Amino acid sequence: MSRPVVDLAMRKATKQIMVGKVPVGGGAPITVQSMTTTKTADVEGTLAQIYALYAAGADIVRCTCNDLEAAEGLAQIVPRSPVPIVADIHFHYEMALAALEAGVACLRLNPGNLRKPEEIKLVASEAKDRGVPIRIGVNAGSLHPELYKKYGNATPEAMVESALRELALFGEVGFDDVKISVKASNVPLMIESYRALSEAVNYPLHLGVTEAGPPPSGIVKATAGIATLLAEGIGDTIRYSLTADPVEEARAGRQLLEALGLRERKGLDLIACPSCGRAEIDVIALAKEAQRRLEETGYPIQVAVMGCVVNGPGEAREADLGIAGGKHKGHLFIRGKIVRVVKEEEMIDALLSEAEKLMEEGVEARLAAADPNAEAEARADREALFELRGQDANLSSQKIERIRKRLGGTE
C-alpha cells in the first residue's frame, strides 16, 4: 500500500451516508465518481460504459434521468450495474420520483433548477421512505436568480446559501441523508466555496471543478481544486468533469487518490525522469512503451523508468521495480538494488518479465534471486560514464580557481 501523503487523521469528521453499499463520509475511503455520456435509454451501451468506468476505478456512477425512456432504462441498468447508480435530475421532479421507482442508490438535485419548495420536499420525503440519499448539487452557473440578485454574482456565500436553503427544505420533512457539492469552473471560487461549506455543515462533500474542459488542461484545473481541498482534509468523494471519455475521469480520480496516499494502489504507477543530456537512451519513448505494456497487465505496482544509470536507481529507490538506461545497457533494479544488467534492446521485455515474477514471488524473493555480478557490472558502467563525461561536468574547479584569484586567495 502506498504511504499516505495526506494525513487521514486531519480529515474533517463528517456524517456518513450509504450510496448503495458504498459508504461516503464518516472516515470511509474517499470514493471516485464519474458520469455516463450515453443515452440512458440505451441500456446495453450505458452498461458497457458503466463497466468500463468500474474497471478504471469508479466507485459510483451517475446517469442522467431526463425523460420516461431514461427512467425505464434505469430500471434495467440498476440491477445489472457493478456500482451504485446515481440519477441526475435537473428540472422535473417527476423524473426524481421515477428514478426512485427504478431503484437508484442516490439522487442528484440541482437546487438552481428544481426550485418549487413543495416539489423538493415531496422528492425528499419519497427518498426518506426508501432510504435513498440525495446529493445537493449546487453549480455556480445555475444558481437561483434570487441569489445572483442578492450577491451580484456566483460567490462562495451564494453557493453555500443555495445549499443551506435546500437543506432547510429537507429538514421540514425530516430528511438529512445528504451529501453536498458546490462546483464551479473557476478553481479559486470552487476552493473557497468548499472551504466555506465545510465550516457550515458536517455533511459529506462531493468535490469537483465543473466544466473543467478537455485534457490536459481540464485535468490540471480539476486536480488544482480537488487536491488542494483534499490536502486540507476537506472532501469525501470526487469527480473529474472532463470533456473526454468518462473513463479518463475515473482513471484521473483514482490516480489522484493513489498519488496522495488516500487509496491503495489499484493499477500501475509509472514514474519516469524528464530526460536530460546525461541520458543514453530515449527515455520518453521507453517510458511510453513501458506504460502501454505494463498497463495491460493490471499490476498494482510502482515502476520507474530512468534515463541515467549514475543517479537513476538511487533517485527511484522507493519504486517496486525500475530500469535505468546506460550505454547500450539497462540496469534493472528493485527498491533501488540492482538485480540484473540487460542489453538495451531487451530492457522492456526484462522489465515486463521481472514485474510478473515480482507479483508472483514478492520483493524479498526477487531480491534474493538477483544476479550476484549485477552490482559490480553496474558500478563499472557508472564509472565508465563518469570517465567519459568527466566528474566535473559543470567546470566547478575552474570556477573556484577564478573566485579565489578574484578574492585574493593564494590557492
Q: Where are the domains of the chain?
A: 8-259, 269-389
Query: 269-389: CATH homologous superfamily?
Result: Sulfite Reductase Hemoprotein, domain 1 (3.30.413.10)
- What pLDDT does residue 401 have? 80
H or E segment at 338? strand 337-343
What's the order of all strands across the beta sheet hosting 60-64? 178-183, 134-139, 106-109, 85-89, 60-64, 31-35, 237-239, 206-207
| Cell, residue 146 | 434570487
- What pLDDT does residue 279 have? 62
pTM, entire model:
0.83
Nearest 5°: CA angle at 275, between 271 and 278? 130
| Cell, residue 405 | 584569484
8-259 is a CATH 3.20.20.20 domain: yes
Placement of cell 538495451 in the chain? 344
- What pLDDT does residue 2 have? 45
- What pLDDT does residue 1 have? 36
State the pairing for strand pair 134-139/85-89: unpaired
SS3 helix, strand, coil % of the chain, rounded to 5?
45, 20, 35
- What pLDDT does residue 220 have? 97
Placement of cell 546506460 in the chain? 326
Placement of cell 417527476 in the chain? 94
Taking a C-beta distance cutoff of 8 angstroms, is the pair 78, 59 a contact? no
Placement of cell 472551504 in the chain? 195
- Averages of pLDDT over runs of 10 residues in the chain (411 residues) are 53 96 96 97 97 96 96 98 96 96 97 93 97 96 93 96 97 97 97 98 97 95 97 97 96 94 87 70 86 89 82 75 83 90 90 94 93 86 64 60 77 50
- Please return the burial class of 35, using the count of CB atoms within 10 Å of its CB with bins 0-12, 13-18 and 19+: buried
| Cell, residue 79 | 440491477
Report the DSSP beta bridge partners of residue 213. Answer: 242
